[in-house]
Amino acid sequence: RGGIVDDVALAKALREGRLAAAGLDVFEGEPRVHPDLLACSNVVLTPHIGSATVPTRKAMANLAADNLIGYLTGGKPVT
């Protein structure tokens, strides 16, 4: 997913004011972040932890359990 964003073009758009701000959680070439993005003051960069909330992690665990139950009982997994 990180490859979807052109880091250089995004940083340029941020510097030039064509974009007010950006927030990214996934980067091409993780864990490295392109230096042009690091130089921008109007960008929020997080280390691939965007889903690290209690409700989201509970939902992920429940989905994994539902998939396992579906597989083990001969049914179809949810996803």
pLDDT tens per residue across all 79 residues of the chain: 678 899 999 999 999 999 999 999 988 888 889 999 999 999 999 988 888 899 999 999 999 999 999 999 988 887 7
Looking at the fold, whether 38 and 57 belong to one and the same domain comes out as no
- Kindly report the backbone phi and psi dihedral angles of residue 43, in degrees, each rounded to the nearest multiple of 5, phi listed first: -135, 140
- The residues carrying an active-site annotation are 1, 30, 48
Does a cis peptide bond (omega within 30 degrees of 0) precede residue 31? yes
Looking at the fold, whether 3 and 28 belong to one and the same domain comes out as yes
Looking at the fold, whether 43 and 11 belong to one and the same domain comes out as yes
Looking at the fold, whether 40 and 71 belong to one and the same domain comes out as no
Looking at the fold, whether 64 and 76 belong to one and the same domain comes out as yes
Q: Which domain holds residue 38?
A: 1-48
Looking at the fold, whether 7 and 44 belong to one and the same domain comes out as yes
Looking at the fold, whether 64 and 43 belong to one and the same domain comes out as no
